[in-house]
Amino acid sequence: MATDSSLTLNSAHNGEMPTAILAGRPLTRNTGIPLNLDWVREVRVNTSAVERRAQTQTARRTVKKEWQAAWLLRAITCMDLTTLSGDDTDERVRRLCAKGRRPLQSEIVERLGIGELGIRVAAICVYHTFVETALGALEGSGIHVAAVSTGFPAGLSPLAERVAEIRRSVEAGAHEIDVVITRGHVFGGRWQALYDEIAAFKQACGPRHMKVILGTGDLLTLRNVGRASVVAMMAGADFIKTSTGKEPTNATLPVGLVMTRAIREYAQETGMAVGFKPAGGIRTAKQSLDWLGMIKEELGESWMRAEMFRFGASGLLGDIERQLEHFATGRYSAGYRHPLA
């Protein structure tokens, strides 16, 4: 489809998010809708069929050569470069921010002829403690700071504290808040409670973008994933996100398929666009191409942008760098040749 340079990240910080387009219909930012329990209950997911589609989709599509390079660059610009470890320090976060600003060595940038694109990651994703550090390190870069919040990763601290946590991060200047849901609400079918919780988070976020982490590795069934996705969108999620990275399984393509289909359905029914963020377990360039391909097939090109799609990843960038260097030089690369994140 026809696109222009506004689809690059350069427009990401002018306050207004460009909306996505579905089947030619421009969509608006999600403001949520009242909880529709009939819709939630009617969600049907056939696990075997979804797995089959996920499996064959990656075999049906591939990108090669310059196209592959372009797609990998796009993957970088959709990346929430993440560090969420107990041993994180200010210095570690600053190093990550530096990598986010210059994800590729200038030699590769030159060889690929992409200087004009100003390739950099979409956001740096950290605990609240490091929001200030990250903001300082990223000043002037246009890169967002995302804070995980609400008792991440379990999400089991008292609701008031979780909401207060969001407020603190917003006050600290975080652009995006990644919240986690109470998984027990899903198991218990307490959709109203889930809705109210997320709506409360949304209110605390204000205009800041809220990514709702479903913890799909905990939810276990794809039907649960589908229902939780719908409730999260109804409650006003700007993004729905697969995982904290701390569950036993993280982002898988079948889960992604269920969530993107839910996003499509929601857009069709409401005219509002919700973004998608798979997180955890995405470590290779090939995986990033598979995910982008799935977004293109299920939601279309307008979702293949940082405004609507993010990878939550830490190790992915290194592999993309190696692949791009290989493309630029024709030689296979080694990890140690690329600056550490």
Q: Is 222 exposed, middle or buried (0-12, 13-18, 19+ CB in 10 A)?
A: buried
- The helix or strand, by DSSP H or E, that contains position 29, with its residue range, turns out to be strand 28-29
Our measurement of the distance from residue 65's CA atom to the centroid of its chain's CA atoms, rounded to an integer in Å, reads 26
Tokens of 266: 């929601």
Beta-bridged to residue 125, according to DSSP, are: 82, 146
Nearest to 137 by CA among 97, 173, 170, 101: 97
Q: Which listed range, 89-97, 111-119, 185-193, 273-281, lies at the site for another protein (CB under 8 A)? A: 111-119
- In the annotation, is 64 catalytic? no
- Contact between 117 and another protein by CB under 8 A: the answer reads yes
Least gap, CB of 110 to another protein (angstroms): 12
- Contact between 65 and another protein by CB under 8 A: the answer reads yes
CA angle 3, 5, 10 (to 5 degrees): 135
Chain position carrying tokens 């260097």: 325
Q: Which listed range, 106-114, 191-199, 277-285, 307-315, lies at the site for another protein (CB under 8 A)? A: 106-114
Q: Which of 218, 241, 290, 319 is catalytic?
A: 241
Query: What CA–CA distance (Å, rounded) separates 77 from 118?
Result: 9
- Contact between 199 and another protein by CB under 8 A: the answer reads no
Q: Which listed range, 41-49, 144-152, 279-287, 309-317, lies at the site for another protein (CB under 8 A)? A: 41-49
Residue of the chain from 37, 63, 98, 193 that contacts another protein (CB under 8 A):
63
Q: Which of 178, 238, 290, 319 is catalytic?
A: 178
- Contact between 51 and another protein by CB under 8 A: the answer reads yes
Chain position carrying tokens 């209110």: 203
- Contact between 56 and another protein by CB under 8 A: the answer reads yes
- In the annotation, is 238 catalytic? no
Least gap, CB of 226 to another protein (angstroms): 9
Site for another protein in 203-262 (CB under 8 A): 221-223, 261
- Contact between 59 and another protein by CB under 8 A: the answer reads yes
- In the annotation, is 277 catalytic? yes
- Contact between 106 and another protein by CB under 8 A: the answer reads no
Per the omega criterion (within 30 degrees of 0), is the bond before 34 cis? no
How many C-beta neighbours within 10 Å does residue 97 have?
26
Contacts of 297 (CB under 8 A, 6+ apart): 57, 61
Residue of the chain from 12, 19, 21, 74 that contacts another protein (CB under 8 A):
74
Chain position carrying tokens 């109470």: 182
Q: Which of 218, 238, 277, 319 is catalytic?
A: 277
Least gap, CB of 18 to another protein (angstroms): 14
- Contact between 48 and another protein by CB under 8 A: the answer reads yes
Contacts of 113 (CB under 8 A, 6+ apart): none
Running DSSP on this structure, what letter comes out for residue 276? E
- Contact between 113 and another protein by CB under 8 A: the answer reads yes
Are 290 and 323 spatial neighbours (Cβ–Cβ below 8 Å)?
no
Active-site annotation, residues:
178, 241, 277
Interface residues toward another protein, by CB under 8 A: 3-5, 7-8, 23, 44-53, 56, 59-71, 73-74, 112-114, 116-117, 221-223, 261, 292, 296-297, 301, 304
